[in-house]
Amino acid sequence: MATFTDVAALIPTLRARVGSCASLAQAQTAVSAMTDAEAVAILREADEVAQHAEQLRLIALGVVSARSGRDAGHSGAAQKHGHRNAVSLVQQITGTTKSDAARQVRVAEAMLDGETDATEPNAAEADATARPTDWRGPLRGARRDGRISTAQFDVIQRGLGEVPLASEQLDESQRRDLDETARAAWSQAAQQLIEEAPERTVEELASAARAIRDLLDPDGAEQRFLVRYEKRSYREWIDQYGVRRASIAYEDHGASLLDTIFNAGLRPRRGGPRFVDSEERAQAAALADDPRTNEQLQYDFLIDLVRAGALADAKDVFGTRQAGVRVVQVIDSHGGTVGYTEDGLSVLPDAAIDQQICETGTIAVGIDARGNPLDVGREQRLYTPKQRIALAIRDGGCRWTGCDRPASYCESHHADEWQRDGGRTDIDRGILLCRYHHMQLHHGGWRIARDGKGDFLLHDPGGEARALRPRGFLAYAWGDIDPSPQRFRPMIA
């Protein structure tokens, strides 16, 4: 078994100090005396070492899982150690949760499939016409060379899901061609998500994968929506201390509605926009100073909402902003397929959108091929509500890499400073940022620039620049992932 010194010797920034890092305590002392840059370098280098170890771990886990199936009985690899399956064995060895152990097993099994193909080139070549293309190939390659983590592999694989097969009513040649086209589209989607992985959180990748899947398979999107709708429930019980408790399983629209309501009422406590009028500023200050926890405020807010009822004056319940779910639907030459809630980008099928339109209305926003809304700005300091809608559609929330703040929590930043650079309040010069990152931009030496309607570039204090991708997964509807939805409709049995 490797000693701590052996491992430390694998970290370049520590290699010269291995003698003084013979133990964990000594290493902590040494790293504490280093500069910020050296500490970050050690973090990156240690992760690279861990990635190599993880690859070997996945190989071993894939083999153990393959040898621990039900058909192995009590002689299976996991069963020999007293475990029912490989998930239980991993949980016991690593001390992790059952869900995390299951994730590791899923990825290991998927990686093992790819290893089998790679170790049997002759058989794979001879079987090329009979064996269908596995769309997960790009995922395996990215995991092997460390471009994505195990968690990223899993959320992309599960988010994109199984490829829908062509209808049995078609002849064999048509089914084969359609199935292969679909697998190619799924493989392209996986590659797209792999490229975005360094700039996305795992949660964002999961949402993006689900959004792309619903674009590729709109009929399946409606079926999945209906399944979640049928699972909606509200259950109450009294615990052993006499406290009445409740458990809610939301359907998509109901969850989005409550999210929007809570966001509208509690935004000042959750990092919402600072640029409000004097009356709102006073209300925000009072809410920020309220001694109740966010959970208590949310509960009291829900009870007040129920008590007030649907006919109450909006200002009595929501303050100055009426809460509601705003739905975005991409309309192109094919017509609408699916829609998305502005915050969170939950998927809603056509039927749910039609129902929403009956109760509210629509606002048309024109965009170009890259998703940039038309310029509807005016020469004024603040962005108008209509401009904010356009920015929300384009950006999907805070554009800062790794931030998960939704559009309703964001402020509109001028890429050209309003006073210093004579910045215009036009959509193509504005970008959504949450309060924290907006403050960091103005006070931390960062800068955002844009050439025409190209990518927004974030320049750090050191001079390096990186592109800021929009969080709005609607971009996939007019971006690189663009198979015709109609092409997949006849594939559903």
Amino acid of residue 255 = A
How far apart, in whole angstroms, are the C-alpha atoms of residue 114 and residue 109?
9
How far apart, in whole angstroms, are the C-alpha atoms of residue 412 and residue 435?
10
pLDDT score of 328 more than 90: no
How far apart, in whole angstroms, are the C-alpha atoms of residue 34 and residue 49?
20
Beta carbons within 8 Å of 472's beta carbon, 6+ residues apart: 345, 371, 392, 393, 394, 395, 396, 397
How far apart, in whole angstroms, are the C-alpha atoms of residue 49 and residue 38?
16
- The position carrying tokens 């999945």 is 224
Amino acid of residue 247 = S
Contact 373, 367 (CB under 8 A): yes
pLDDT score of 490 more than 50: no
> In 3D, which of 457, 342, 319 has the Cα closest to residue 394?
342
Backbone angles phi, psi at 170, to 5 degrees: -85, 160
How many Å from the N-terminal Cα to the C-terminal Cα in the chain? 54
Backbone angles phi, psi at 64, to 5 degrees: -60, -45
Mean pLDDT of the 69-95 span: 88
Contact 78, 85 (CB under 8 A): yes
Amino acid of residue 205 = L
Give the Cα-Cα-Cα angle 479, 480, 485 (nearest 5 degrees): 80
- Could you read off the pLDDT of 446-470 as tens digits, one per residue? 888 888 778 889 988 888 888 888 7
Contact 400, 476 (CB under 8 A): no
Token pair listed for 384: 């108008």
Amino acid of residue 181 = T
Q: Domain-by-domain residue ranges, the chain?
A: 250-318
- Could you read off the pLDDT of 85-123 as tens digits, one per residue? 999 999 889 888 998 899 889 999 988 876 544 444 444
Backbone angles phi, psi at 450, to 5 degrees: -150, 130
> In 3D, which of 391, 273, 281, 406 has the Cα closest to residue 344?
406
How far apart, in whole angstroms, are the C-alpha atoms of residue 89 and residue 69?
13
- Could you read off the pLDDT of 117-155 as tens digits, one per residue? 444 444 444 444 445 678 999 999 999 888 999 999 999
pLDDT exceeding 90 applies to what percent of the chain? 12
Q: Name the band, by pLDDT with cuts 50, 70 and 90, for residue 318.
A: very low
Contact 324, 257 (CB under 8 A): yes
More confident residue, 235 or 257: 235
More confident residue, 258 or 491: 258
- Could you read off the pLDDT of 275-303 as tens digits, one per residue? 556 666 777 777 777 788 888 888 887 87
How far apart, in whole angstroms, are the C-alpha atoms of residue 136 and residue 171?
26
Contact 257, 249 (CB under 8 A): no
**Looking at residue 128, what is its pLDDT?**
43
How far apart, in whole angstroms, are the C-alpha atoms of residue 69 and residue 18?
44
Q: What average pLDDT does the chain have?
A: 76
